[in-house]
Amino acid sequence: MVIDCHAHLTGAHTGVTRIWGKSDAAVLAAAARVGIDVSCASILTTALPAPLEGFRECNRQLAAVTRQHPGTVRGYCYVNPGYTREALQEIRRYVTDHDFMGIKLYNEYKATDPVLYPIVELAIELGVPILYHAGHQHRPVPGQPNISDSGDLAALAARYPEAVLICAHIGGGGDWEWTVKAARAAPNVYLDTSGSVFDSGMVQMAVRVVGAERVLFGCDTSYTAGIGKVRAARLTDEQRALIMGGNMQRILAMRRG
C-alpha cells in the first residue's frame, strides 16, 4: 500500500482555504494516477497565522472530504497552537469523532516554543503523529520568521520521546543535508520525502543517516517529484516498502482508542 504522508486539499473554494489545483477531485485523480492508495491530507488557511475560524473551517471542510473518500483520504487536524484551548478541543473532536489520523502544524510557532507542549501531550494521549512544516536555509526564510527545522523538532522530540513527529518535506527547499543530519539522533522524528526538490542522493542520504524505518514517502502535491525521487534511490525492496507505506501504516496503528 502506498501512503502519501503529506497531502493537501482545498475543500470548497470559499477563500478561507488554500487552493491546490483545480479541484480536490483533480488532485486526488493525480494521486491515483501516480499510484497512491491513501492520501494523509490537511487543508490550510489562506490567512497566516491561521485565525481560529480559519482553521476550524479547514477541518470542517476536510471532514466532509474524508467522508466522501473513505479509506482514500485520511485527515490531519490543522490548528494554530496559539489558540491553546480551542486547538486542543479541535484536535480531540476531529480525531475522536471524525477519525482524523494526525495533527498538522504550520509555521506559526517554532517547535521549541512551550506553546506546543499541550498539543504534543494531547497527540501522545491520542496516539497520533504531528506533521510539522519545517525547513532549514542559511538565510532568513521570507515570510516565515517562525519556521522550524529538524533541529527544533529534535529538541521537542527529546522532551517528548513518546511523540511521533514528522519533519515535513526534506525536499521542500532548503539544506536537506542539514535537515537529515540534525534529525539523526532523534529516534521519534521521521523525515518526509515530499517537496518539489528532487536532488540526486536526497532520499538515499536520509535512509543512510536515520534508517529506512524513519523515512516516509510524501508528495506535498509535487506528485511526479514525489514518486521519482524515491524511484531514484538505491534501496532494497524491504526499505522501499517501508518508505512507501509500511512505516506510515505502523504510525497509523499507534492510534489509541
Partner 1 sequence: MLIDTHTYIGHWGFRPLPWRSTDGLLRAMDEHGIDQAWVASASAILYRNTHAGNEELHAEVRHHRDRLTPFAVINPTYADWEHDLAVCQEEFGCRGVRLFPPYHRYALADAACRELVAAASARGMVISVPHWVEDDRERSWLLTQPGIVPVEDMAELARAFPDSRFVFHSGLGFSSTALGEKGGVQADYGLDIARLTVFVREELPTLLAWLGPERLIFGSGMPFTSVDVPLFKLEVLDVPAEAQEDIRWRNAERLLAGSG
Binding residues for partner 1, rule: CB under 8 A, are 20-22, 26-27, 30, 33-34, 135, 137-139, 141, 173-177, 196-201, 221-225, 227-229, 231-232
Closest distance to partner 1 from the beta carbon of 29 (Å): 8
Place of cell 496503528: 253
Q: How far is the CB of 224 from partner 1 (least distance, A)?
A: 5
Cβ 215 to partner 1 shortest distance, Å: 16
Grid cell locating 194: 515530499
User: If 0-12 CB within 10 Å is exposed, 13-18 middle and 19+ buried, where does residue 255 land?
Assistant: middle
Check: CB of residue 170 under 8 Å from CB of residue 191. Answer: yes
Pick between residue 84 and residue 137 the one whose CB is nearest to partner 1.
137
Nearer residue to partner 1 within complex by CB, 124 or 232: 232
Give 101 or 227: the residue with its C-beta nearer to partner 1: 227
Q: Which residue's CB is nearer to partner 1, number 87 or number 210?
A: 210
CB 65, min distance to partner 1, A? 16
Grouping H, G, I as helix, E, B as strand and the rest as coil, residue 137 is coil
CB of 125 to partner 1, least distance (A): 35
Kindly state the helix (H) or strand (E) to which residue 40 belongs, with its residue range: strand 38-42
Pairing of strands 165-167, 73-78: unpaired
DSSP 214-243: GEE---TT-HHHHHHHHHHS---HHHHHII
Query: Which of 178, 211, 209, 176 minimizes the C-alpha distance to 193?
Result: 176
- Strand 189-192 and strand 215-216: the pairing is parallel
